Amino acid sequence: MRTSTDNCGCFPTGRHYAGIAHLLRAIVRGLVEDLAQDGAWRDHPIALIDVETTGRDSSTDRVIEVGIALGRGGVVVARYNWLINPGGPISPESTAVHGIKDEDVKDSPSFAEIAHEIAQALAGTIPAAYNAGFDRAFMLAEFGRTGHAFPKNAALTQGTEWIDPLVWARELQREEKSRALGDVAQRLGVALENAHRASEDAEAALLVLYKLGEDARIPTSYGGLVQEQRRLGLAQADERRFWKS
């Protein structure tokens, strides 16, 4: 779906965002096709995805756990979790983070065996993840290895923009030293009792997104949210490059 928004420089909250008025009549790229860009993003179905892996390189490492928290209207409406046999060893460094050992997944199905279940859970939703680049890269790599096409699933399409609560935490909690999920969740009053396990991280990140969304600085419309997140993400990347140089 390709539509445009009014060129007023405002989002439905009525708040004016200087410097982005020129974007508001532009076609919004990366949206889930069947969801209204002018509709409130929190009223659309959102699938917050979290993966645990054998390592950090999506081209060679594999997913060993997938958690999905499905939300709508500001609440969690469904939860999914899969343990997955990666077909190879889990690095000790990764086990030290998430606690999953080779023996924990030796009797679990491969990703290819449960890919259709994951795709079904994601169908018709806006994909989201905390530090989305990591989870998105692993999910697309794993689905790519299956050799099966899921043409109607926006979450598995290269051009779809994933909502990333980390981008918003970096902006709204700019003065805080840490924007790790556990620290952001604690500041917002969101419980996270078993960090670095997929289903718990996914649910906490979804609730963090909804809590952050209560801030008037976050656009209420789906299209506005994606546009502003894209702008902030680019600005934050530039800022990190500046400090590293």
Longest dimension (CA), the chain: 58
Per the structure block, which two tokens stand in for 180?
């790790």
Measured in degrees and rounded to the nearest 5, phi and psi for residue 5 equal: -115, 165
Task: With a cut of 60, say whether residue 1 has pLDDT above it.
Answer: no
Task: With a cut of 70, say whether residue 17 has pLDDT above it.
Answer: no
Tell me the three state secondary structure of residue 109.
Answer: coil
pLDDT at 7: 41
Beta-bridge partner residues of 128: 48, 163
- The answer to whether 52 touches 196, Cβ cutoff 8 Å, is yes
| Rg, the chain, Cα only | 18
pLDDT at 20: 55
Question: Between helices 165-172 and 222-244, what is the axis angle to 10°?
Answer: 70
- The answer to whether 164 touches 130, Cβ cutoff 8 Å, is yes
pLDDT tens, residue by residue, 71-105:
999 999 999 999 999 999 999 999 999 999 999 99
Chain-wide mean pLDDT for the chain?
Answer: 90
- CA-CA distance, 31 to 19, in Å (whole number)? 22
- The answer to whether 11 touches 38, Cβ cutoff 8 Å, is no
Q: What is the mean pLDDT of residues 182-195?
A: 92
pLDDT tens, residue by residue, 118-134:
999 999 999 999 999 99
Task: With a cut of 70, say whether residue 19 has pLDDT above it.
Answer: no
Instruction: Report which of residues 2 and 222 the model is more confident about.
Output: 222
Tell me the three state secondary structure of residue 171.
Answer: helix
pLDDT at 9: 46
Instruction: Report which of residues 193 and 191 the model is more confident about.
Output: 191
Q: What is the mean pLDDT of residues 2-14?
A: 43
pLDDT tens, residue by residue, 30-69:
999 999 999 999 999 999 999 999 999 999 999 999 999 9
pLDDT at 191: 93
Task: With a cut of 80, say whether residue 18 has pLDDT above it.
Answer: no
Question: Between helices 198-212 and 165-172, what is the axis angle to 10°?
Answer: 50
Could you give the angle at the alpha carbon of 48 between the alpha carbons of 213 and 168, nearest 5°? 35
Please give the domain boundaries of the chain with CATH numbers for all domains: 39-244 (3.30.420.10)
Q: Are strands 63-72 and 126-128 parallel, antiparallel or unpaired?
A: unpaired
pLDDT at 197: 87
